[in-house]
Amino acid sequence: MFTTTGSRGLYKAPLSKSLLLVLNGLTVMLTLLPQYQDLFVYHLQAITQEHQVWRLLCGRLVCLDIKDSFCSSLLIYNFRIFERRFGTRKFASFLFGTWCLSALMDFLLAKAFQFLFYYEVEELPSGLLAPVFSLFVPFYLSIPRMPVTQVLGRIHITNKSLVYIVGLQLLTSSPFMWLLALSGLISGGLYHSSVLRLQKILFVPAWVSRIGQYILEPVFSSSQPTSETPLGMGATLDVQRQQRMELLDQQLLLAEYNEARRNARHQPQSGLLQWTRLFPSLRHRGQNRVPVQPRPQPQAHQSTQPPFLDNSPVAEEQVARLVEMGFSRIDALEALRASNNDINMATNFLLQH
Of 86 and 75, the structure prediction assigns the larger pLDDT to 75
CA dihedral 169, 181, 74, 63 (to 10 degrees): -100
pLDDT greater than 80 at residue 175: yes
When pLDDT is cut at 50, 70 and 90, the band that residue 166 belongs to is very high
pLDDT greater than 50 at residue 58: yes
User: 87-129, pLDDT tens digit by residue?
Assistant: 899 999 999 999 999 999 999 999 999 999 999 999 999 999 9
Instruction: Please give the Cα distance from 213 to 222 (Å, whole number).
Output: 13
User: 263-296, pLDDT tens digit by residue?
Assistant: 655 544 444 444 444 444 444 444 444 444 444 4
Structural domains in the chain? 14-222 (no CATH), 314-352 (1.10.8.10)
Percentage of the chain lying above the pLDDT 90 cut: 48
Helix ranges restricted to H, the chain: 14-32, 44-48, 54-59, 66-78, 80-86, 88-117, 129-134, 136-142, 161-171, 177-193, 198-201, 206-211, 217-220, 235-265, 285-288, 307-310, 316-324, 329-338, 343-352
Question: Is the pTM higher than 0.75?
Answer: no
pLDDT greater than 80 at residue 301: no
Q: What pLDDT was estimated at residue 353?
A: 61
Least confident window among 138-152, 162-176, 178-192, 193-207: 138-152
Helix/strand/coil for 36: helix
When pLDDT is cut at 50, 70 and 90, the band that residue 243 belongs to is low
